[in-house]
Structure 1
Amino acid sequence: MAWIGMVLVAVVAVEHIYILILEMGMWTSPRARKIFGTTEKFAEESKALAANQGLYNGFLAAGLIWGLVHPASAFGHQLQIFFLACVLTAAAYGGATAKRSILVTQGLPALLALAAVLFL
């Protein structure tokens, strides 16, 4: 059953790689503006800030992948728990301050992955 946790952790990692791509490379595109609910002007003015956010999402993905590389070890398990907790914290903050839907789109997958890692 540990494979369920690994699959869910991988899903969260891929989601954060996608967010990295959106924020670092596609921030001013119509697709990213629609997803994040920004105007063309705001997107252009906030490009550097979005790229910084994207970098942090990349670090979250890297940490989760790092944990997946060591799945059978206590170290890998701890990495997965730590980085999933980081994602949950970021989702809670983003949901409270930016867009409530972040709780579902980022928080729920991380919560399910964390539950699977801890209990399966």
Structure 2
Amino acid sequence: MEIIQTVFIILVALIHLYILYLEMALWTTKKGINTFGLKSKEFAEETKIMAANQGLYNGFLALGLLWFLITNNFDGIQFLLICVFIAGLYGAYSTKIIKIFYIQSIPAIIALLLTLLF
């Protein structure tokens, strides 16, 4: 496997581990509220269980990418990168926060293209 492929796959996994941390641990803090553009601290408190669930799924994506990387399973890696790309598209569209597209979808599509090219 090319080093650049591995770097981008790990980058996508690290991004999702960070999202897990934001959604599961920092959702109701100033950092979480500002990062996700939440309406208020009260709203963050009301939705923290939902956010933790989202965080867990982001963790599963990250761990899946790392597992497939360790086991050299390109089909699994490509599938999860497509999932991440689509999730970023939908997240940016549904929330009207374009930053989600740049942070989530762009690294995923670069990693996917690298796995297809090499």
- TM-score range (shorter-chain normalised) is over 0.9
CA distance in 2, matches of 1:3, 1:68: 12
- Paired residue type of 1:67: F
Aligned to 1:119: 117
Structure 2 residue 77 is the aligned partner of structure 1 residue 87: no
Structure 1 residue 21, shift from structure 2 partner: 0.7
Q: How many residues align?
A: 116
CA distance in 2, matches of 1:101, 1:21: 18
Structure 1 residue 41, shift from structure 2 partner: 1.3
Aligned to 2:3: 3
Deviations 1:20-55 (A, max 9, x none): 011011111111111111121111110011001001
- What percentage of residue pairs aligned between the two structures are identical? 44
CA distance in 1, matches of 2:116, 2:2: 9
Unaligned runs of 5+ in 1: none
Structure 2 residue 35 is the aligned partner of structure 1 residue 40: no
CA contact (8 A) 1:66 1:79 kept: no
- Aligned CA-pair RMSD: 1.1
CA distance in 2, matches of 1:23, 1:91: 15
CA distance in 1, matches of 2:8, 2:68: 12
Structure 2 residue 68 is the aligned partner of structure 1 residue 67: yes
**How high is the TM-score relative to the length of structure 1?**
0.92
- Paired residue type of 1:20: L
Aligned to 2:94: 97
CA distance in 2, matches of 1:103, 1:22: 17
Q: Secondary structure at the match of 1:12?
A: helix
Regions of 4+ moved over 6 Å: none
Q: Secondary structure at the match of 1:27?
A: coil
**How high is the TM-score relative to the length of structure 2?**
0.93
Structure 1 residue 100, shift from structure 2 partner: 2.1
Structure 1 residue 10, shift from structure 2 partner: 0.1
